Amino acid sequence: MKKPTPNNNTLLLSNNADEEDEDLRIFTDDQGFSFGHPLLDKMYEDLISHIDLLKYADLSKRVDSLVSLNEMIGGMNEDTQPVLMRAANELIGAFNHVMNEIFDKRAEDINLRFAKYFISIVLKTC
């Protein structure tokens, strides 16, 4: 059987991809994407919504989105894991964005409660 090769629509997580690695491919083109199940589609939309709030909202909404992300990620199981895999790039990007925003400030200007909670959520998630 011919080994799959990466193209502009896929990201292979392994250089030695074969039939067993098919589940490790993540399609990056979101146009028209669906998990084929309304609950998974809704979960993905909610996850992306909370990720956006984490990046761009005010402090109180960021805390709320962190709490929600913690609950959603903690509640993932084998059936819902594809949702997290699909949103992983956005989630890591949001973590990076917030971490840079927190630590680009002077020590006196950092909200320590938020920073501590944020770092604990990042550690649990990763």
| Residue 85 main-chain phi, psi, to 5 deg | -65, -40
Which residues neighbour 52 within 8 Å (Cβ) at sequence distance 6 or greater?
94
pTM surpassing 0.75? Answer: no
Rounded CA separation 54/47 (Å):
11
pLDDT digits (tens, 9 = 90+) for 67-115: 999 998 888 888 888 888 899 999 999 999 999 999 898 988 888 999 9
| 8 Å CB contact between 65 and 57 | yes
Per-residue confidence (pLDDT) for residue 27, from 0 to 100: 45
